[in-house]
Amino acid sequence: MLAIIGGSGLAQLSVLEVTHRQVVRTPYGDPSCALTFGLVGGRNVVFIARHGYGHSLAPHEINFRANIWALKQQNIKGVVAIGAVGGIRPDMRPGAIVLPDDLLDYTSGREHTFFEGLDKPVVHVDFTHPYCPDLRAGLKKAAQAEAIEIVDGGIYACTQGPRLESTAEINRLERDGADIVGMTGMPEAALARELDLPYAMLTVVANYAAGRGDSEHKVDFSGASSVLDSSLRSVERILQRLLQS
């Protein structure tokens, strides 16, 4: 079974044939919402909406540990996470679908590890490649099979939010090598690694990052800006194809 984490604009998966929902509690507190179980492309999937069903949780309010722990308990083989991002690199235009291959973490103050407390061992997981190459390859192949254009590779910068960045901050992220910017990719990816879960992220550019592009594409977190929405439908087709293969 594969887990799918839905981000902004994707609180529900239209390609998911729901069989049941389950409320799960964890030693780290409650996940963002109940887990939804069902079938995509004939395969078993467990889905969770990162921000809760009504998009009620801001990025810094998400209990990433509870989400990842709850998914791990379902005997999953991996996690595909979906997230909306701002585009920094000029070709990361609104509507682009990007499969990042590395990340930079600028978050602070989030519960970001399972390995803390006197009863826990000191563990330093390898994070050389934060995103699972096999899952990435599967997503890339699925996109090709659906003739959906994606940007293969890119560096995802995770900021703390909930506010958007200043132009100078985006300039700094660009100097650091970042191509796209979001608020929820970390510590999610690292926590998945700590629990030995293959994890990949598929992101959709919702807007140009601050000081980039034109002013038409300001961030719209209200739900469905039409460009975001149409790319999210493509993302769903990629997921369906991934699970059929």
Binding-site residue ranges: 8, 50-51, 183-184, 207-209
> Quick check: 203 binds ligand HPA (CB under 6 A)?
no
- Candidate list 125, 164, 172, 195; residue touching ligand HPA; CB under 6 A: 164
Residue 103: partners with Cβ closer than 8 Å, 6 or more residues away: 130, 131, 155, 156, 157, 158, 185, 186, 189
171 closest CA partner among 210, 206, 203? 210
In whole angstroms, the minimum distance from the beta carbon of 124 to ligand HPA comes to 28
Q: Contact, 186 vs 192, CB < 8 A?
A: no
CB 228 within 8 A of CB 204: yes
Residues 72-101 that bind ligand HPA (CB under 6 A): 84-86
Interface residue with ligand HPA, options 132, 139, 206, 235 (CB under 6 A): 206
C-beta separation of 7 from 84 below 8 A: yes
- Of residues 173 through 192, those in contact with ligand HPA by CB under 6 A are 181-183
Our finding on whether 32 is near ligand HPA (CB under 6 A) is no
Q: Are strands 199-208 and 78-87 parallel, antiparallel or unpaired?
A: parallel
Using CB under 6 A as the binding rule, whether residue 9 contacts ligand HPA is answered as no
Is 201 a binding residue for ligand HPA by CB under 6 A? The answer is: no
Q: How far is the CB of 84 from ligand HPA (least distance, A)?
A: 4
